[in-house]
Structure 1
Amino acid sequence: MSEVKPVSAQEEIEAANTVFEKYGFVFYDLAASSPKSDKTRRSCAVAVGTLLHSPVLFASMQSAHSLPVKALAQQCGVSARTITRHRDYIVAAALLIDGDYPILCTYLQTMRKEAEQCVR
């Protein structure tokens, strides 16, 4: 019986960075685009939830490696300016929640819950 080596946070960050680089940022850039206020964080959660629950928008983001700001803004009701300002954060949150990043996702539990509530 082979043992499965637990993945470390550093390994998850490195794996996420290879994905994030396609979008023009790295993990350590996220602090600059993270929402500071509760209202903005909720707006970002709405955008992330909409992105995750819209296969067309999510597939468009993945194929073009860019966030479809205008379409996302129209669909979720968050201003395009807010989405643009927090683009990297929204992309990273969506990719982490959708991907296989159990350690990093623990930091996004609040975002995931808010996103699920907003889409319902």
Structure 2
Amino acid sequence: MLLSIIQGIFNKESNTAIDKLVWKAKTGDEKVMDELLIAFTPFMKKTASFVCNRFIDDSDEEFSIAMVGFHEAVLKYKPEENASLKTFAHLIMKRRLIDYIRKEAVRNANVLLTIDDDENEMANEYVFDESSIFSYSEERRAKERREELAEYGRLLDEYGLSFKELAAVSPKHADSRKTAFQLAQIIAETPEFYNHLMENKRLPMKQLEEIVEVSRKTIERHRKYIIAVTLLLNNDFIYIKEYVKGELI
């Protein structure tokens, strides 16, 4: 079975077979789970090395973190909602590794989080009650939403995009939309990829193909939508983001 899994990793037409193995692992087949972990070990190391910006091998704690993340991804993976196991697992492993790196940085530096006396006094004086939460009128909120949409529109224009065009190219199927969102998340959360987009006004196609199980044709088909979502995720568009919360991992 291990050989079939390894072959499946490099065969985009065998996603169904991988999904069946994932289902077995999720339902308690520990042997299948172990075989998945072994088969995807090179992928885990590659992801960990990419996130940590250095070579990672079996003896590194970061490899263990990546393996835990992959195990979590297998348990949470839903073929009908997520782009592919590798794409989904990449996001989960990256989150876990970044959390670990941040915690280690704090622990090693023995950083103590304190609040200045002045800030503490101000915090004590400021009380959030019902009246303060609803202090903004609906008119003010509507104005802020309009300003946010206008700003987002100007940003899209820098990339040759418009709201009208996005409405036309938005993925019609839920699975396609989920794939596009996951690719956008990977780009938004990877400085190297996001900087490439900022500098070249194009997606980092080659780099994406190396780490996700999505064809160049699919990425290109949803290119405009992916760029628009990436820009949305990495900017402070509070109101607009409320509409896409359910799409994010």
Q: Does the CA contact (< 8 Å) of 1:12 and 1:103 recur in 2?
A: yes
Q: Which residue of 2 aligns with 1:75?
A: 211
Structure 2 Cα separation of the partners of residues 8 and 28 of structure 1: 21
Tell me the CA shift for residue 77 of structure 1: 2.0
1:90 and 2:226 equivalent? yes
Structure 2 Cα separation of the partners of residues 78 and 66 of structure 1: 17
Aligned partner of residue 77 in structure 1, secondary structure: coil
- Tell me whether 71-80 or 26-35 shows the greater mean CA deviation: 71-80
- What is the TM-score of this pair, normalised by structure 1? 0.80
Tell me the CA shift for residue 69 of structure 1: 2.3
Task: Give the CA RMSD over aligned residues.
Answer: 2.0
Summarize deviations over 1:21-52 as a string: whole Å, max 9, x none. 11111122111221111221221122112112
Structure 2 Cα separation of the partners of residues 9 and 70 of structure 1: 36
**Can you give the 5+ residue segments of structure 1 that lack an aligned partner in the other structure?**
none
Q: Which residue of 1 aligns with 2:182?
A: 46
Aligned residues: 111
Q: Which residue of 1 aligns with 2:88?
A: none
Aligned partner of residue 8 in structure 1, secondary structure: helix
Question: What are the equivalent positions in structure 2 for 1:1-120 lying under 5 Å apart?
Answer: 6=141, 7-112=143-248, 116=249
Structure 2 Cα separation of the partners of residues 75 and 49 of structure 1: 13
Structure 2 Cα separation of the partners of residues 54 and 71 of structure 1: 11
Equivalent pairs: percent with the same residue? 28
**Can you give the 5+ residue segments of structure 2 that lack an aligned partner in the other structure?**
1-134
- Report which of the two structures shows the higher radius of gyration computed on alpha carbons: 2
Q: Does the CA contact (< 8 Å) of 1:47 and 1:78 recur in 2?
A: no
Counterpart residue type for residue 104 of structure 1: I
Q: Does the CA contact (< 8 Å) of 2:153 and 2:162 recur in 1?
A: yes
- What is the TM-score of this pair, normalised by structure 2? 0.41
Structure 2 Cα separation of the partners of residues 10 and 70 of structure 1: 37
Q: Does the CA contact (< 8 Å) of 1:93 and 1:108 recur in 2?
A: no
Tell me the CA shift for residue 95 of structure 1: 0.9
